[in-house]
């Protein structure tokens, strides 16, 4: 498991690789992708980062002088996995605030996913979630509101079916 900073304890028997930046996550995931059967990309990686980092605190007085923040895109980890995909099952997430299924279908196609788990972005701070599974074959399954642990179990069940194990 590759993870950014978290207070959560990893599941037993799982090797945890901790990363800080989107670039570190990209390199860690890309470097291991050829060795896996299933890749579930649940991380909400920032789309942009500052072009320059400050070595010290930026004072408010500097902002008054017309200071601005320039951003650059971070690597699109999931899209790159889609390009590299051979026989792996690739599962992504779409947290949206509007047009949930439409945006999720677009992401599923653009990034060559086998399954996308679509949910409203408001679920980040909740203990439950209501998700929709959309497969590359076009199958749509809308789950009822469930505890997040049950949603996770359903995702694993679907991944096992997509791999064809059991």
Q: pLDDT tens digits for 60-115?
A: 776 667 778 899 999 999 999 999 999 999 999 998 888 889 999 999 999 999 99
Question: Could you report the per-residue pLDDT of 8-33, keeping only the tens digit for each?
Answer: 888 899 889 999 999 999 999 999 99
Beta bridge partners, 135, equal 115
The domain 11-44+75-163: what is its CATH number? 3.40.50.10300
**DSSP3 helix / strand / coil % (the chain, rounded to 5):** 35, 25, 40
pLDDT at 126: 82
pLDDT at 88: 95
Task: Provide the pLDDT for residue 60.
Answer: 77
| Residue spans per domain, the chain | 11-44+75-163
Residue 122 scores a pLDDT above 80: no
8 Å CB contact between 20 and 26: no
Choice among 31-40, 58-67, 123-132 with the minimum mean pLDDT? 58-67
């Amino acid at each position: 498991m590759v993870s950014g900073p978290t207070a959560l304890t990893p599941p037993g028997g799982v090797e945890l690789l901790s990363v800080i930046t989107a670039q570190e996550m990209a390199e860690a995931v890309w470097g291991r992708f050829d060795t896996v059967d299933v890749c579930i990309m649940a991380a909400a990686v920032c789309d942009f980062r500052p072009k320059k980092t400050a070595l010290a605190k930026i004072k408010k007085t500097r902002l008054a002088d017309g200071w601005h923040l320039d951003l650059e895109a971070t690597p699109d980890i999931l899209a790159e996995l889609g390009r590299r995909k051979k026989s792996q099952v690739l599962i992504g997430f779409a947290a949206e605030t509007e047009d949930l299924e439409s945006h999720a279908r677009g992401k599923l196609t653009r990034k060559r996913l086998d399954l996308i788990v679509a949910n409203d972005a408001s679920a980040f701070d909740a203990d439950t979630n209501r998700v929709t599974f959309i497969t590359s074959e076009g199958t749509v399954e809308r789950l009822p509101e469930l505890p997040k642990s049950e949603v996770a179990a359903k995702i694993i069940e679907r991944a096992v079916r997509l791999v064809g194990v059991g």
